[in-house]
Amino acid sequence: MISRVRHHLRYRRRRVGVWWRSQVFRRVPATNALWVCSWQRSGSTWLAEQFAALPGTRYVYEPANTPEGIVTGESAALVPVPSESSAISSVIADALRGRVRGHWVDQFNTSHFPRRTVVKDVRGLPQLGAVCSLVPEATVLVLVRHPFDCAASVVRLGWYDPSISPRDAFVNEVQRWCHWHSRAVSDPRAAHVRWCSYEELAGHSDGTSLDELMESIRTSHRVWRALQSTRTTREQRSATDFASADITIAEEWRDEAFNFLEASGWSDLYGRDSRQRQPIEQFVAQRRN
């Protein structure tokens, strides 16, 4: 009897916590919103957490999942990134306007009277141009990471259709990555967005550092003027830094997947050896010209 009561109290405490995180009593305008748009396993949670650490910041987690009911970790892991969808674009735009709340999107929120909003998505890349058209006043960061690293993480975590082989899962993930990133970088509706790379922000490659990115945001947008990156937030594990079983990514997998990088032109940025070949801003400028 006592154990059942304790179990019920723990359950009720968790439910109250879920409810309380979604209680937001001030709507933030899109002018004070920042959207971190990325691909799964690119480091977007880590980057969003750097901005959300600033007091008075609401953290909205992956609203692009909600139109299709992908609101559990298991379903999100096994459903591929969708194609363009007006429903998904609309919900992202509403999140940037402060109109979306719930147990999924607010699961990491700690601010109930926010002055600014960080929205983070890994399924929003196909919607990039549409969202920019709907809320042109929002600040948009597109975070990229070498597709080999993203695909390797997906395979190690088992986030793919179990009916296909790990090799096919790896190659298919790289192919989708190249397709949607190519469409996004050439979309004229998103010509004003800021592209950044995980490798540069994490200090693994030359280019814009995390401090430089934050300085740019801080000086361009008054509501972010107190923004800063601390050693604690920079080095702590992100909420989606999952431990996983090891799996070998064979060279022939990389060889096959690299064909998609070459065909799409992304091999100018990322090599076969998982290194970044040039600064992301330089690469994006070349693709837009």
What is the C-alpha separation between 196 and 208, in angstroms, rounded?
7
Q: Is the pLDDT of residue 243 over 80?
A: no
With vertex at residue 199, the alpha carbon angle to CA 196 and CA 205, rounded to the nearest 5 degrees, is 105
Taking only the tens place, the pLDDT of each residue in 27-75 is 999 999 999 999 999 999 999 999 999 999 999 999 999 998 887 767 7
Q: What pLDDT shows up at residue 108?
A: 94
The vertex-171 CA angle with 169 and 172, nearest 5°, equals: 65
Domain of residue 78 covers 2-288
Place of tokens 């509403």: 94
Strands, E assignment, the chain: 33-37, 57-61, 116-121, 139-144, 194-197
92-109 pLDDT per residue, tens: 999 999 999 999 999 999
Give the CATH number for residue 164.
3.40.50
Q: How confident is the model at residue 4 (pLDDT cuts 50, 70, 90)?
A: low
With a cut of 50, say whether residue 234 has pLDDT above it.
yes
- Euclidean distance between CA atoms 245 and 237, whole angstroms: 18
What local confidence, expressed as pLDDT, does residue 24 receive?
85
Cβ contact 266:147 at 8 Å = yes
CA–CA gap between residue 233 and residue 196 (Å, rounded): 19
The token duo for 253 is 């997998």
Nearest residue to 211 (alpha-carbon basis) of 190, 192, 196: 196
Least confident range from 49-63, 70-84, 193-207: namely 70-84
Q: How far is CA 93 from CA 98, 131, 138, in A?
A: 9, 6, 9
Number of domains into which the chain is organized: 1
Q: Which tokens in the block code for residue 17? A: 């916590």
pLDDT of residue 207: 93
| Position 7 pLDDT exceeds 80 | no
| Residue 206: pLDDT band with limits 50, 70, 90 | very high
Six-digit token pair at 70? 């992908």
